[in-house]
Structure 1
Amino acid sequence: MGVACGPAGLVVVDIDAHQVQVPDRGQLLPGIPIPEQVQLDGLVSGFDTLALLAAYRGETSPAQDEHTLRVRTPSGGLHVWYRNPTPSVRYRCSTGSARHTALAWQVDIRAEGGYIVAPGTRTPKGVYRPEGSARRPAVLPEWLQRELRRTQHVIEHKSLVEPVAPAVPAPAHRGGRRAASADRLIDPLIALVAECAAAPEGTGFSEKLNRAAYTAGGLVAAGHLDQAAIRDRLVRVAHYARPWQQSRNEKIVDDALAVGSVRPLHLKGRP
């Protein structure tokens, strides 16, 4: 089961533990230079970079925050759930490897426009299990609020020009009423993503792409769409709207497809 972070007032720190090559120290904590005398030999994951950031600020790492809901992921990562104490301030999603907006290497932020897997959810890769005794999100700590603002996670309100975007055609010859019904549901959502090309920010791009991919995941799980075909279509329209963040686009699509697939979306009148 997936939870839409924005409407729920959530800011989730998504700590990854992927076995990948550690980048140059200048890319570990965006905006914070790490002196050469600081030993980084044991740094291998987002747990380490987040602990380093917390140490720089004299704070406890969110991974060790026993006052809020923490959920262990099947891949060994950790989702640390917080409540946004100021609804008028909206935070954007990010990935730890992003060039423009990132908190720390291998640390993602799930907020406005993002989805997070609910604790207790079973997936083909395993179960998302709560860790510790806390079962409710605590208020986002002030130091993290400052860090998110410093790293450009705050969404600034800007007036938008009415977008004019080309239509994004559905693949031909998918055949059958099931595919036609699925197209009628997914096509308007994909068109909204395409319209985001009219402005570089402030269009709700991440939220719209998440919604389209989440819906597509449910349709795939119910057998109404082909996963490879709809993923390709979503990625293409995302790259059209935001060509400078292709890695992030693909992560948004893949994550939302995975979350959506947990809940098959059966069309009305269909099993």
Structure 2
Amino acid sequence: MKIESDASSAGGGGHTAAAAAARYDRIGVGYRQVRRPDPRLAALIASGLGDARTVVNVGAGAGSYEPEDREVTAVEPSQVMLDQHPGTRKVKASAEQLPFEDGAFDAAMAVMTVHHWPDPARGLAELRRVSRRQAVFTWDPSHSTELWLFEEYLPEIGKADRSAFTPLSVVTGALDAHTVLPFPVPHDFTDGFRAAFWRRPESYLDPAVRAASSTLARRPASAVEPGIARLRADLRSGAWQRRHADLLERESVDYGYRLVLAGS
């Protein structure tokens, strides 16, 4: 059964929520080809959901990391993303105004989405309202280790990303979280988000990879292409490989990704 609902422009902040949805309507095409769920992160999130049987996935996108052994309702403001979602219980709505009763779900999950919400604190409060347990996967912008792509080739974008990303303290505070688990990114991670290709630098040369990362896709080509051109030249000359020989020996790196758990 497909649940038909559209609350993406309702309530305060609706105009901004609509703008966020429109952005993913634009960059979401082909998303599933690059953003393939990684089983190691999937296992971590599934464990964070505990014994929950009913789950709401807020900011669900194309449905990555939704456990197959639970009853999942997907909430997403972008129609393009919902159209790529394989599930049957789908609601077009914003995180800030979830169209569900209090305590409607055993658990709520949100994966790399809180930073897109116009009002993160309100959205996280909604997660708490509709579920007894919450599992939120996010990135800590204050984490000291930065991806080389932003340190060396796109520093202005990296700086802007850190400023715009929801601080981890906001997430933990709004949820009254009891556990924060680190997730070091494996070198062969399959989900092409921000730091996924830290040991595969040639991947960032691919326009399809950049288009599936909101950090890069929402910037104009004039802000991205010069840095990518420098990366291409450094890969061709071997300069990148010499500078990052230590990375080529590592299995994973902690770039600040965290699973935040709250509730019971």
TM-score, length basis structure 2 = 0.27
Larger radius of gyration: 1
TM-score, length basis structure 1 = 0.26
Q: Which has the higher helix share?
A: 2
